[in-house]
Structure 1
Amino acid sequence: MRALSRRLAFLSALLAAAPAAAHPGHHHGAPGWTWDPAILVPLALALALFLIGWRRIAARSGRGAAWRRRLGLFVAGWLMLAGALVSPLHEAGERSFALHMTEHELLMLVAAPLLVLAEPLAVLLWAFPAGARRGIGRLVARPWLAAMWRWLTAPVPATALQAAALWGWHAPALFDRALRSPGWHAAQHASFLATALLFWTAMLGRRGGRAAHAAGQAVAALCLFATSVVSGGLGALMAVSDSPWYAGYAALGLAPFGLTPAEDQQLAGLIMWVPGGLVHALAALVLVRQLLIQGEARHADAL
Structure 2
Amino acid sequence: MNPAGAQLWFPYCGAAPVPADLMGRWNLDPMLLAVLALAGWWLWRQAQGAGQRRLLVAAGSLALFLFVSPFCALSSALFAARVTHHVLLAAVLAPLLVFALPEERIRWPGSLALWTGLQAVTFWLWHAPAFYAEALSSDLLYWTMQLTITGTAVGFWAAARRSSSLGAVAALLVSTVQMGLLGALLTFASNPLYLPHFLTTEPWGLAPLEDQQMAGLIMWAPSAGLYLAAALAITRRWLAEQDRELPA
Shorter-chain TM-score range: 0.7 to 0.9
- Where does residue 249 of structure 1 map in the other structure? 197
Map residues 86-125 of structure 1 onto 2, 5 A cutoff.
86-119=68-101
| Matches of 2:236 and 2:244, distance apart in 1 | 12
Offset from partner CA, 1:111-165 (integer Å, 9 cap, x none):
111111111577xx8xxxxxxxxxxxxxx9xxxxx7xx341xx321111110010
- Where does residue 179 of structure 1 map in the other structure? 136
| Matches of 2:97 and 2:55, distance apart in 1 | 6
Contact 2:3 2:200 in 1 (8 A): no
Contact 2:46 2:102 in 1 (8 A): no
- Where does residue 217 of structure 1 map in the other structure? 165
Q: CA 1:287 to 1:43, structure 2 compared with 1: closer, same or farther past 3 Å?
A: same
- Where does residue 289 of structure 1 map in the other structure? 236
Letter in 1 for 2:147: A
Structure 1 residue 276: deviation in Å? 0.7
The answer to which of 38-47 and 179-188 deviates more is: 38-47
Contact 2:186 2:216 in 1 (8 A): yes
- Where does residue 167 of structure 1 map in the other structure? 124
Q: What percent identity do the matched residue pairs reach? A: 34
Count residues with an aligned counterpart. 234
| Matches of 1:297 and 1:53, distance apart in 2 | 33
Q: CA 1:297 to 1:108, structure 2 compared with 1: closer, same or farther past 3 Å?
A: same
| Matches of 1:219 and 1:181, distance apart in 2 | 38
| Matches of 2:44 and 2:98, distance apart in 1 | 16
1:271 has 2:218 as partner: yes
Q: Which 5+ residue runs of structure 1 have no aligned equivalent?
A: 1-21, 58-66, 126-139, 141-145, 208-215
Off by >6 Å, runs of 4+ in structure 1: none
| Matches of 2:125 and 2:79, distance apart in 1 | 17
| Matches of 1:92 and 1:166, distance apart in 2 | 20
Letter in 1 for 2:26: W
Q: CA 1:53 to 1:290, structure 2 compared with 1: closer, same or farther past 3 Å?
A: closer
Structure 1 residue 183: deviation in Å? 1.2
Structure 1 residue 179: deviation in Å? 1.4
Q: Which has the higher contact order (CA 8 A, sep 6+)?
A: 2
Structure 1 residue 36: deviation in Å? 2.5
Structure 1 residue 52: deviation in Å? 4.3
| Matches of 2:229 and 2:135, distance apart in 1 | 31
TM-align CA RMSD:
2.2
| Matches of 1:160 and 1:37, distance apart in 2 | 35
* Higher radius of gyration, 1 or 2: 1
Structure 1 residue 53: deviation in Å? 5.0
Letter in 1 for 2:62: M
TM-score by length of 2: 0.86
Contact 2:116 2:171 in 1 (8 A): yes
1:45 has 2:27 as partner: no
| Matches of 1:87 and 1:255, distance apart in 2 | 22
- Where does residue 77 of structure 1 map in the other structure? 59
